[in-house]
Amino acid sequence: MSPTRWAALVERDGRGLRLTPAGAALAAACEPVLAALERAEGAVRALDAEPSGELAIGCAPSALATVAAPLLAELAARHPRLRPRIVQADPEEALPRLRQRRLDLAVTYAYPLLGVPPAAGTTAVPLFDDPLCLALPRDLLPAYERDGLAALRESAWVSAPEPSSCREMLLHACRNAGFTPRITHECADLRSGLWLVATGQAVSILPKLLCDAPPPGAVVRELPGPGRTLDVVVRAGTETQPAVAATLAALTSLTSLTPSAPLTAR
């Protein structure tokens, strides 16, 4: 009999731990097993004819009014025994919580141009596309219409704090226009950042969902090209669990899946 061989699965990374190559390989190999266990749990729960119990739904702040509010109303009408609970969280927070089973679903967003792969062990269901918009003070509009984003290379910018895919997308758009923006102001609530734009103190790039009611003095123009996608993400294998399946069905039944108008229940 050959001697037992040991492999380190984690190693120190500052004050925390990270997976070694062996640990990463083991984690990847376990993903199908975890998904199969989730499906097995779903088969047992499906014996109850009506979905019930608590359901934790993570939701990006920009989708609270557009997705979360009508979803709760739809679930209350369809499945009164369900107790959905909304937890505000951007994707950087929501996806780890989902994998840790602290959330059952997460309404998130992704920017395809950034090329970030989907989180391991999850399944994403697209909801709708959300274009990007440029927000700028009215007096800068003629220069932008003449020279495009390059006309704003000397401007101060407002964006989300790091880490943020919204910030990364702003940097990507500006660098494609030939400059690195001077991000002077940071604002976790990008909708509030529009007031800095309105007073002439900054310009910004943000999703159309956040531009429905810009304050006086701020001008919004939709940018060409792809923006972001709004998705609902679940742990792989949980799609058949009654509460999760009921929520996915409710989302797909909602109408007006556009960033310019909120979802409305049937």
Co-location of 122 and 192 in the same domain: no
Identify the helix (H) or strand (E) that includes residue 161. none
The predicted model gives 207-227 an average pLDDT of: 93
Residue 12 lies in a domain: no
Co-location of 110 and 236 in the same domain: yes
pLDDT at 264 over 50: no
pLDDT score for 36? 47
Residue 9 lies in a domain: no
pLDDT band at 91 (very low <50, low <70, confident <90, very high): very high
pLDDT band at 212 (very low <50, low <70, confident <90, very high): confident
Residue 56 lies in a domain: yes
pLDDT score for 119? 86
Tokens 């964006």: give the residue: 159
Average pLDDT of the chain, as a whole number: 85
pLDDT band at 20 (very low <50, low <70, confident <90, very high): confident
As a three-state string, the secondary structure of 87-145 is EECCHHHHHHHHHCCCCCEEEEEECHHHCCCCCCCEEEEEEEEECEEEEEEHHHHHHHH
The predicted-structure confidence for 25-35, as pLDDT tens digits, reads as follows: 555 555 564 44
pLDDT at 149 over 60: yes
Co-location of 44 and 138 in the same domain: no
Strands 228-235 and 105-110: antiparallel
Residue 54 lies in a domain: yes
Which of 65, 147, 101, 89 lies closest to 241, judged by CA? 101
Residue 10 lies in a domain: no
Backbone dihedral angles phi then psi of residue 107, each to the nearest 5 degrees: -85, 110
Distance (Å, whole) CA 178 – CA 157: 16
Domain total in the chain:
2
Final residue of a domain: which of 224, 242, 261?
224
The predicted model gives 203-215 an average pLDDT of: 93
Residue 101 lies in a domain: yes
The predicted model gives 194-206 an average pLDDT of: 97
Which two three-digit tokens encode residue 190? 């990008």
pLDDT at 13 over 80: no
pLDDT at 75 over 70: yes
Co-location of 118 and 174 in the same domain: no
pLDDT score for 42? 47
The predicted model gives 146-150 an average pLDDT of: 96
Co-location of 74 and 200 in the same domain: no
Residue 49 lies in a domain: yes
Co-location of 88 and 123 in the same domain: yes
The predicted model gives 65-86 an average pLDDT of: 95
Domain limits at 137? 132-224
pLDDT at 162 over 80: yes
State whether residue 38 is helix, strand or coil. Answer: helix
The predicted model gives 210-219 an average pLDDT of: 93
Co-location of 214 and 239 in the same domain: no
Q: For residue 246, give Cα distances in angstroms to 46, 61, 97, 110, 238.
A: 11, 23, 21, 24, 11
Co-location of 218 and 137 in the same domain: yes
Co-location of 102 and 152 in the same domain: no
Co-location of 62 and 175 in the same domain: no
Q: What is the CATH number for 184?
A: 3.40.190.10
Residue 1 lies in a domain: no
The predicted model gives 142-168 an average pLDDT of: 95
Co-location of 196 and 247 in the same domain: no
pLDDT score for 50? 83
Co-location of 140 and 177 in the same domain: yes
pLDDT band at 3 (very low <50, low <70, confident <90, very high): low
CB-CB neighbours of 186 under 10 Å: 14
pLDDT score for 28? 57
Distance (Å, whole) CA 32 – CA 34: 5
Q: What percent of the chain has pLDDT over 90?
A: 67
pLDDT score for 254? 82
Which two three-digit tokens encode residue 149? 């984003």
The predicted model gives 97-122 an average pLDDT of: 93
